[in-house]
Amino acid sequence: MAQPLLRVAIVGGGIGGLFAAKALTARGITVSVYEQAPAIGEIGAGVFLTPNSVRHLHRMGLQAPVEKWGARLGRNSHYFRQDGVPIAPVQVTDASGWNATFGMHRADIVDLLAAALPPGTVRAGHRCSGFEQDGDTARVKFANGASVEADIVIAADGIHSELRPHVFPPSQPVFHGSVAYRGLVPHERLPDWPTDRWQMWLGPGRHFLTFPLRAGKLINYVGFVPTDEQMKESWSAPGDPDMLRREFAGWDPRIQELLGEVRQTFRWALYDREPLPGWSRGRLSLLGDAAHPMLPHLGQGANQSIEDGMALAIMLGRADRATAPLALLAYERLRRERVAEVQRGARASGLRYDSAYSDLGVRDAEITAHAEFRKQLYSYDLVPEAEAAAAALYG
């Protein structure tokens, strides 16, 4: 007799949760996604997609919408000193030379992932308020009074995950003394701004990043500045455009031109967490920022959550109700070391970008050499390793 299909409940309808749902449904697993917002979609601005995750989006048949809604970032991508003096090219390909590096609006990738799921998969307006499990079933409760039973529950609900304490004792996120001002400028306001490259300017204690979105129709900017204010981590806290302009006064005239067109900006405090020793307990496991929130200085938050979703789908693809908890442990073993390395790399990149050096020549040499780290980061393909782990688990 055929084993009944697993029932998986994913809490969190962001990029990680939606990609995991797509990868799981592609393997015949029954999935429901529960999102606390009243409608699917996310506020926010740019997402940096790199080859290590784009190869999995291709596997899910999403190459066309990624290329439609993204802006491919090419070989003219560059690092600069604060006055505009070039430092080094930015690595945009994997080791084979494949360029699958895109700027995308967060709302666009959320929409294309949601559209790729069977109708009714995503249920909005469900804020998680409780969790319990016994040997056979996991149950999630929601603030609207609903509850759901599943064979497996995946917490994809971000750095402030409601479910994370059910896996690991509560702990505080680590604040890194910086805040990012972020927002969008329509390209029509800056018609000469290039739409084919990622650009970053580095100066004492701060750095400034731009890249295009939505096939070049929007320019995404992020200005990273120091602060003593431990504001709540948020995509949507309002910022002051004039204060942002003052933070980068005297920098490259290109930055002054862009900031002159900023009408609205948002502030985002930079937090991560120390790597966890475990992500799973029984029938509950963590994914994305719920498991491994990281600083944005490698642009890997969304990319690592997509890798998580692919690994999870492979490990659960042959599981039944009895073996599913073992599959979750195998999933986290596949992922923990990889994401811990990326978390540490993001911290190191932040120090480098903010010029914490007495000799900027040393910094510039490290920026140049860092291309090799990115090349290897982008070349990683978890599928062979995950398939070998699944074969060992299931025989």
pLDDT band at 4 (very low <50, low <70, confident <90, very high): low
β-strand 199-203 against 78-81: which pairing, if any? parallel
Closest listed residue to residue 200, CA positions, set 297, 334, 300, 344? 297
Section 26-36 average pLDDT: 97
Given this model, what pLDDT does residue 231 score? 57
CA distance 93 to 74: 9
pLDDT digits (tens, 9 = 90+) for 77-91: 999 999 999 999 999
Contacts of 243 (CB under 8 A, 6+ apart): none
Fold (CATH) for 7-75+105-172+276-358+371-394: FAD/NAD(P)-binding domain (3.50.50)
Q: Are 323 and 49 in contact (CB under 8 A)?
A: no
List, in sequence order, every beta strand (DSSP E) within 227-375. 237-239, 265-272, 280-281, 284-286
Any idea where the domains of the chain sit in the sequence?
Answer: 7-75+105-172+276-358+371-394
Mean pLDDT value of segment 319-345: 96
Structure tokens that stand for 255 in this block: 């930055």
The mean pLDDT value for 248-257 works out to 98
Tell me: pLDDT of 230 over 80: no
For residue range 295-314, list pLDDT tens digits in order: 999 999 999 999 999 999 99
Give the model's pLDDT for residue 232: 56
Read off the pLDDT of each residue in 207-216 and give the average, rounded to a whole number: 97
Q: CA torsion angle for 244, 246, 248, 249 (degrees, to 10)? A: 150
Would you call 80 exposed, middle or buried from its count of C-beta atoms within 10 A (0-12, 13-18, 19+)?
Answer: buried
pLDDT band at 28 (very low <50, low <70, confident <90, very high): very high
Higher-confidence residue of 216 and 229: namely 216
For residue 25, pLDDT over 60 is answered with yes
pLDDT at 235 exceeding the cut of 80: no
Note the pLDDT of residue 246: 97
Q: CB-based contacts of 59: which residues, under 8 Å, 6+ apart?
A: 310, 383
What is the predicted pLDDT for the residue at 112? Answer: 96
In the chain, % of residues over pLDDT 70: 96
